[in-house]
Structure 1
Amino acid sequence: MRRLRIATVAAISAGALLLALPTSADAAIGEFLYKVGPGLPQGLTNPPSGECINLPGTTDDDPAHSPRNLTLSAATIYLDFDCEGTAVDVLAPGGIRGQQVQFRSVRFS
């Protein structure tokens, strides 16, 4: 009887631990790569889903360009900071665009 109780407690504890771990819904698994200015490479690894991200390295004068969405989620990119205004493009997982696509913020679904 004691062994059964210990096994039950262990199973319940393991289940609780699994429920506490973050899931892939919390992040866009993979990398989102882009360039700034004359082509300086930048990137985000496992970016959070559903949150607007202002891209590091971008400024009012130097937006990001040449996006590569190597995550498992769609990436909506915006010309303005804080995901303001109309979306410039939506990149499906694996989507790549050229230097003509300029943006300053992104949100992953």
Structure 2
Amino acid sequence: MRTLLALTSAFALLLTATGTASAADGVFTYRYVDEEGQVQTGALVDPPSGECIEIPEIADWDTDAFRPRNHTDSRAVVFKDNDCESAAYFSLRPHGGQGSERLLLRSVVFS
């Protein structure tokens, strides 16, 4: 009986731990030009996986972020539009994938 209880408890703990792993660990950085015309660096720290994330600093105005750096443990797919649905996208590998100054983005999703 104790063995069955121990196995059941271990299985329940495993299910709980697996269900909470829903973030890409690490930092995703990008650059953008602020309202004063200055180049700034933005970051998403431990971003959620499987959700479209609009780049927050540029969400409300007509400009793009650029030069993304993916230092998370997940693949990052960057999009030229706000809702991660455009045909214009680029995939950045985990642990150091990067785009040039010419790679423009407005949203990203992590796998």
Q: How does 1:5-84 map to 2 (within 5 A)?
A: 5=2, 9=5, 12-21=8-17, 22-24=19-21, 26-37=22-33, 38-59=38-59, 60-84=61-85
Q: RMSD of the alignment, in Å?
A: 2.1
The sequence identity of aligned pairs, in percent, is: 43
> In 1, distance between residues paired with 2:41 and 2:84?
21
Which of 83, 93, 107 in structure 2 is aligned with 1:105?
Answer: 107
Q: What SS does structure 2 have at the residue aligned with 1:77?
A: strand
Name the SS for the 1:35 alignment partner. strand
Q: Distance in 1 between matches of 2:66 and 2:28?
A: 12
Computing the radius of gyration from Cα coordinates, the structure with the larger value is: 1
Contact 1:76–1:87 (CA under 8 A) maintained in structure 2: no
**How far is 1:18 from its partner?**
3.5
Unaligned stretches of 5+ residues in structure 2: none
Using the size of structure 1 for normalisation, the TM-score is: 0.78
Query: Aligned partners of 1:12 and 1:40: how far apart in 2?
Result: 51
Stretches of 4+ moved more than 3 A in 1? 7-15
| Structure 2 CA distance for aligned equivalents of residues 35 and 70 of structure 1 | 15
- Aligned residue pairs total 104
**Residue matched to 2:90:** 89
What CA deviation, in whole Å up to 9, does each residue of 1:45-83 have, x standing for no partner?
111111111111014422111100001111111111011
In structure 1, how many angstroms separate the alpha carbons of the residues matched to 2:91 and 2:73?
Answer: 13
- Structure 2 CA distance for aligned equivalents of residues 100 and 84 of structure 1: 20
SS at match of 1:19: helix
TM-score normalised by L of structure 2: 0.77
Take 1:55 and 1:68, find their aligned partners in 2: how far apart are those partners?
13
